[in-house]
Amino acid sequence: MKKPRNKIILLVVIIFAVLSFAAGLVIYKRLYDSSKPNIFEIPGTAIVWSSDNINKIQSLYFFIQKPPQKREELEKLINSYVFQNNIMKKYLSECIDVLEIKLYKPSFSLPIFFEQNNSFWFVDDYIDHYKDEIIVKAYYKHEGDPEFVYEK
């Protein structure tokens, strides 16, 4: 009598282990992609807008897969990325006054493979709807040091 019961318990444990591993793998694939760099631009999300006190702002949206825990290290990482990839030269021009860079951490609701949907019918797929996943906003101007605004 004990042998069939032990086999059933063992089978349930094995099934639970396999399902847990598969679920963990699915979640990991939504949060990290080893084929991409640590910081990369979210495709199709760059916009130019204007405000009352500033002429024009260029907003860029990036994922950071493994952000450092310390703010100083995060700021160094962002600055080195911006200068190594010539982002300021590409986007700051005579007509753009401020370059705003928003860094997002991937989550289950905002997966690493997110692409903004610009169609009229599916308006929920805009990057601005995921405000909880923003880590930091960096503001670069023509002159002076960048300003970092932390969300959390």
**Domain boundaries, position 20:** 1-31
Same domain, 78 and 59: yes
Q: What is the pairing mode between strands 57-64 and 134-141?
A: unpaired
Q: What gap in Å lies between CA 81 and CA 91, rounded to an integer?
A: 14
pLDDT tens per residue across span 25-72 = 776 677 778 888 888 888 888 888 877 766 788 889 998 888 899 999
Same domain, 26 and 45: no
Same domain, 88 and 62: yes
Same domain, 91 and 146: yes
Same domain, 79 and 11: no
Quote the pLDDT of residue 122: 56
Q: What gap in Å lies between CA 30 and CA 77, rounded to an integer?
A: 23
Q: Is the pTM here over 0.85, yes or no? A: no
Residue in this structure with the two tokens 């997002």, named with its chain if needed:
104
Rounded to the nearest integer, the mean pLDDT of the chain is 82
Same domain, 20 and 44: no
Tally of domains within the chain: 2
